[in-house]
Amino acid sequence: MSWIHDRPFGGLVLGISLLFATGAFGAVETTSARFAGTYASRSGDGKKPGPSMDVSLGIDGTATVTEDAGNGAITHFGHWVEKDKQVKISFEAVDAQPPEAPMTLQPERDGLRAITWNHAIWGKTTPPLVKSRSRVKQRLTDKRSAE
């Protein structure tokens, strides 16, 4: 039982248990500043409107999603968290109706792609990739200040 009084070993065991308890290995849902911002899809060539989606992720965890699968735009409000390197948006209930199904977005090179969504709204159509508008705006601002 002398290992109980071994402070370095006890500290190591305590540190490891705290890491697992706090979910330092990615199991905890958090709101990350790296995903906060506004995202939008671009519809085709502009001549023929296609499915579109706008997503706003607030630094405070609020979320606004406006989606149009071709039947008219619908806006949902809710909250978002980052879990396992994905963005999960849970929507609020409106007028005593049940809340919309949650949406999960997976980061890709150019933006965020929906991997789970409400199929009742989108049918067989896949929601489009949404690209960060905040970063584009920042690049334009940086370019102007360099001139």
- Which tens digit of pLDDT belongs to each residue from 54-106? 999 999 999 999 999 888 899 999 999 999 999 999 999 988 889 999 999 99
Tokens of 34: 């790296």
Q: Among residues 28, 20, 25, 22, which one has the least CA distance to residue 82? A: 28
The stretch 98-126 carries a mean pLDDT of 91
Confidence (pLDDT) at 23: 46
The stretch 109-124 carries a mean pLDDT of 90
Tokens of 112: 């965020």
Q: Quick one: 131 exposed, middle or buried, by C-beta within 10 A (0-12, 13-18, 19+)?
A: middle
The percentage of residues in the chain with a pLDDT greater than 90, rounded to a whole number, is 44
* Residue owning tokens 């200040």: 145
Cα separation, 99 vs 83, in Å, equals 20
Q: pTM to 2 decimals?
A: 0.69
Out of 21-30, 34-43, 76-85, the most confident range is: 76-85
pLDDT at 51 over 70: yes
The stretch 1-13 carries a mean pLDDT of 54
Alpha helices by DSSP H, 95-146: 119-122, 133-146
